Chain A
Amino acid sequence: MTRSSDRRGFLKLAAGASTASLAAACGWDGGNALRPGLLDISRLNDWVGEKILFSGTRLARTYSPAERSAQLPSYFISADMPLLENPHRWRLRVDGLVRQPLELSLDELTRMPRVTYTVKHHCVEGWSAIATWHGVPVSAMVERCQPLAAAKYIRFVSFDSDYSNGWDMASALHPQTILAYGMNDNALPAAHGAPLRLYSPTKLGYKMTKYLVSMTFTDKRPGGYWEDQGYPWFAGI
């Protein structure tokens, strides 16, 4: 081996290494060339998560109320905390591809089947916290509104600006997916989405729409506030 070919090899290697570090520099998200490809792979990962890894019957571990975390952060996207002017007028609208569209008050929701559990909340940021939630299983709502066979997704819409989420039917029908109106044995606080929010220990926090106003059954995959900005759509854990 000659000295110059040695040097050439080293230069080639250095070129490769600097391309990689250039990619890392300035927080490159793939640019216009690679970003669509990364999003395609994210959709593939959604498919793997939904069709292969997710189980409709496997339950997330539950904890005792004594294990609750001292704090559970929450957020809203509006400038101020979304509050109802007249809580008594609030209704949950259930519509779309259903035989029986519904408009339910909080009173009516509390008279429906109730599930209570203490579970771990997983945020996409990497933090976790344990809290107790109670509310109506989405599966009970599905029994009541009777979706058509064509309904494959549910779009959950809030009164927190344009925050919304789209869910696949299997995740929505999971026994631990609930429309929660209570947290830690009390009524749901405004900071956590009063009067009603979606909750499930099998999803990342951003999939659990707070400040609910409607759930719409649809045959087209609905986007969502974070999902449309590039966060994984399925977000099942």
Chain B
Amino acid sequence: MITSGLQIYQAYARFGNRGAPPFPSPFDGAQFPAWSRLGGWLAGALNWHFALMWPLVTVGLLYLGYLVGSGEWRALLFRPRDVRGAFEMTRYYLRLRKDHPPQGKHNPLQKLAYTSIYLFGALAVLTGLSIYKPVQFAWLTALFGGFQAARYWHFWIVWIFVAFTIVHVILVFTVDPASLRAMLTGRYRGRFPSHD
């Protein structure tokens, strides 16, 4: 989705109506390197993007259904009562606190990250829908501030995903490389270090 999206972006590498000043963006007029783009040209990229949207939404909904059905959502959802814990955890990371605060499966900062990445996932799909069918879903496009603003948000969410993935994988290697396999297979042998 990201690589074909970068190819699509290439066709009009800015945000804002024709003849109007563009929205502020460090990527204004940017050309992304060929290796990062999928599709070859606009039509090829659109076909990839509009094919991959189906598995993206399907897997997203299946996973959401699993979280709700299995009760796993409780371990992931950041709730108001986690605010204090998130504060303590931040203090611990900043070395303002010596002992690791007690936690369940995930600490409050992890919950915050996992909850927000799900919200960003939903936003990626909704902003996408609003620029795919801006007339049929005019209310949604208007909610995001219009067609060009919706393009703008759709594009920015990508960088949040990229940053999240990089930090996520770095942390996996820092804490426990074996959990990388667990992410892909769903199985983890032994006891997870942070649960001790």
Contact = CB atoms under 8 A, between A and B. Distances in A.
A27 B147 contact: no
Contacts of B135: 58, 60-61, 201-202, 236-237
A204 to B, nearest CB: 10
B98 interface: no
A128 B16 CA distance: 8
Interface in A199-236: 201-202, 226, 229-232, 236
Contact of B136 (A42, A55, A125): A55
B50 interface: yes
B147 A122 contact: yes
B50 A24 contact: no
A69 interface: yes
B50 A27 contact: no
Contact of A125 (B20, B39, B42, B47): B42
B175 interface: no
Interface in B1-29: 3, 7-9, 11-12, 17-20
Contacts of A55: 136
A27 B19 contact: no
Interface stretch (B66-74, B84-92, B105-113, B177-185): B177-185
Interface in A51-69: 53-55, 58, 60-61, 69
A28 B40 contact: yes
B8 A126 contact: yes
A61 B138 contact: yes
Contacts, number: 133
A219 to B, nearest CB: 26
Interface size class of A (residues with CB under 8 A): 35 or more
Contacts of A129: 17-19
B115 interface: no
A70 B19 contact: yes
B96 interface: no
Contacts of B122: none
Contact of A25 (B11, B34, B43): B34
A86 interface: no
A32 to B, nearest CB: 13
B133 interface: yes
B148 A27 contact: no
B53 to A, nearest CB: 9
A38 B48 contact: yes
A232 to B, nearest CB: 7
B46 A29 contact: no
Most-contacted residue by chain A among B3, B42, B135, B136 (CB, 10 A): B135
Contacts of A10: 177, 180
B148 A30 contact: no
A106 B132 CA distance: 35
Interface of B: 3, 7-9, 11-12, 17-20, 34-44, 46-48, 50-51, 54, 132-136, 138, 147-148, 151, 177-178, 180-181, 184, 189-190
29 contacts: A6-B178, A10-B180, A13-B180, A26-B34, A27-B39, A29-B40, A29-B44, A29-B48, A30-B47, A41-B51, A41-B54, A53-B133, A58-B138, A60-B138, A61-B135, A69-B19, A69-B20, A70-B19, A122-B147, A126-B12, A127-B18, A129-B18, A129-B19, A130-B17, A202-B135, A229-B43, A236-B136, A237-B132, A237-B136
